[in-house]
A and B are shown apart, each in its own frame.
Chain A
Amino acid sequence: MSLDFNDETFRGDYTFKNSAKAIKRFPFPFPEDSYMYSVNMEPHVPGPVGSIFEHMFDVDEHYVAEMRDRAQVLADDPLRCQSLPHMELAGWDLLELIMESKARDYPHWFELHKDGNNWHWINKPLQIEQRFTFMDASTLPYGPLEYITRQTQGDFTLQDQRDDDLWIEAGMVTTQADWSLDFDIGMSFKQWHAPVPLAGQMGIFDRALKFLLKLQHGAPVRRFNWTMTVDPLLDTSPENYPKWGPSKTTMTPETIGHRQHLRVELQTLHRLPRSNAIVFPIRCYLIRFEELVTVPKWARRLHRVVRDIPDELATYKGFLRNKPLMLDYLAQFDDGQPTSLGFAPD
């Protein structure tokens, strides 16, 4: 493995870790000392050099290891990637979007050469070289969605738009915060959001759907979501709950700093040009509490957010049980000093 990418695991011996550089660019999701739902969407425009927003699809030091983990999840459970028959065109749209973005943004790692529909794709980090015919799935080892998302960090869902609604009808989901593509596939926007507490009554889904139905090609948007995960496990799926669920019961004051992770999702939404579908990439970033508290502002703020969060939300996010342990750990880094507005470290 080259110097650019970590040799690490997200299972078994859990050797995942963030370098100092990765901690500095971590997408800390709380702009203020408290948290409540909001649609909180903003244009997905390029951000500062080095930040996770610098490029359309962020490729970081965990890339190669994450792709290795995805291949293992798929080998164990092929239903983590599904595409209903009418979604293949959207899969091609996504393949094009990712290949063009990566070849433009990371030319030292990725190359895309086109001669009409004869495409030549080079992925140096994963040592892949592929010649294929665009829009002819028989020339790729997998369908277009599976092919490109085996080479791209983050989960992906594809939503068809019809009858004034969005329908989740294809996806690659192996790094999810406890939801299942196999269960949700074919659902409408409000159906697949039904388990989320409080937000429905707040009218959040009405507003979000209305906004998304009008999402324009060329104007992607983004938002953050977050939860808590014990151990750096990417695949916290309902399918595997018996394997990872019980780990929450094994936390102690001695292990919490090392084993408890803040899990942040950078969610973006893009209108796709040929299919008029919407792609929803959900990119997961993990940081252990020990790593997070090296940034004093984040340590203070996370303590206040966890302390003040309503129990319904802590339950939904799956950490009510360990909230007291988290607070004991985080409190030692909160001296009560005011924090500045915004995400950035002081």
Chain B
Amino acid sequence: MSVGAPKIPVVVAEVVEVNELIKRFRFVRRDGAAMPIFSGGSHVVVEMDDHGTRRMNPYSLMSHPADTMGYEISVRRDEVGRGGSLYMHNHVKPGMEMVLSQPVNLFPLDARAKKHLMIAGGIGITPFVAQMAQVETMGGRFELHYSVRSPALGAYVDRLQQHYGPRVHVYFDELRQQIDLKTLLKSQPLGTHIYVCGPKGMIGWVHATAKAMGWPDRAVHSEEFLAPPVGLAFDVQLAASGKSFTVQPNQSLLEAIEAAGVEAPYLCRGGACGQCETEVLRCDGHIEHNDHWLTDDQKAANTKIMPCVSRFRGAALILDR
């Protein structure tokens, strides 16, 4: 069974410096055809050829879901990461040819919600930009609470406030402004769903606060893509394909499997979706489980690994792939 949808060959139409940390990229199809319509909250995986290293990073789509002329993403520069965002910032120019995956939505709006309450931190704003556009088209009710470091780093603040008016609330850390979450959650109408996208701390804070106030778990939604962490190099053996290789410090296990010419399933490449789940046949050592997918029990058992974000330290790791 394969879930592979055809990839989308694109050309970079526009690169815009939004502020000193964030650039926006617009992609159009090379053949001039229409892009698929998508649902707000979807991401695409952008394939990069970083001077011989193949990188595939997921980014939320932030263009209007009904805009079939092109897709837009925003990328925050990460100086200490593995280099995907630096590649996007330093090397991707208008006219370049790239490849995108089909959109996949792991952060959908709940269509039953009477109101959508969106809470964003920093670059976590991007899925909400598309979701607000979609909800507005449908005549739905929403409110955005958007926390950023400073006016200079507040991507899209002006544009969103201008367009959506009092439905957009902005908080600047530098001015010591904070979302008054308890008051906010206390004053919501029945049938409200909460969505949060931002730093790990913010996501945990919103979940914990809502839970303590008696919100049902299923009314609180979050999305956190993990960048594959860097780490020490380690060796791995693939039993089914009979290959052995070393995973480099700035390479993910999934990328190393692909570089070895072995097909492996994936969707989010950020530890969230479960698609790349792989059986561990032998583990002499310690798996660094960095994903949100496996349960704590599964992680402790060391019989499964999510190669998109997880790593290994020890003598031998053999996978059923």
Contact = CB atoms under 8 A, between A and B. Distances in A.
Contacts of B274: 210, 214
Contacts of B112: 86
A217 B112 CA distance: 22
Interface in A18-53: 39, 41-43
A160 interface: yes
A86 B102 contact: no
B39 A274 contact: yes
Contact of B267 (A39, A163, A214): A214
Q: Among the interface residues B42, B103, B137, which one has the most CB atoms of the partner chain A within 10 A?
A: B103
A135 B66 CA distance: 12
Contacts of B2: 43, 219
B80 interface: no
Nearest to B267: A214
Interface residues of B, number: 30
Contacts of A215: 3
B270 to A, nearest CB: 14
Interface string B1-37: 1111110000000000000000000000000000011
Contacts, number: 68
A276 B108 contact: yes
A274 B37 contact: yes
Interface size class for chain A?
20 to 34
Contacts of B104: 214, 216-217
Q: Among the interface residues A162, A214, A221, A276, which one has the most CB atoms of the partner chain B within 10 A?
A: A276
B36 A273 contact: yes
A311 B41 CA distance: 47
Nearest to B41: A276
Contacts of A219: 2-6, 102
A275 interface: yes
B138 A39 contact: no
A166 to B, nearest CB: 13
A215 B1 CA distance: 11
A231 to B, nearest CB: 36
B110 interface: yes
A216 B108 contact: no
B105 interface: yes
B37 A162 contact: no
Contact of A89 (B38, B138, B218, B273): B138
B84 to A, nearest CB: 22
Interface in B88-109: 102-105, 108
A27 B163 CA distance: 53
A161 interface: yes
Contacts of B85: none
A216 B218 CA distance: 23
B5 A217 contact: yes
Interface string B71-89: 0000000000000000000
A218 interface: yes
Given A217-B36, A218-B6, A276-B42, 17 more contacts: A41-B1, A87-B111, A162-B218, A210-B274, A211-B1, A217-B103, A218-B5, A218-B36, A218-B102, A219-B102, A273-B37, A273-B103, A274-B38, A274-B65, A274-B134, A275-B39, A276-B41
A-B pairs, 5 with minimum CB distance: A219-B5, A86-B111, A218-B5, A273-B37, A216-B5
12 contacts: A162-B218, A216-B104, A217-B36, A218-B36, A218-B102, A219-B5, A221-B1, A273-B37, A273-B103, A274-B37, A274-B65, A276-B42
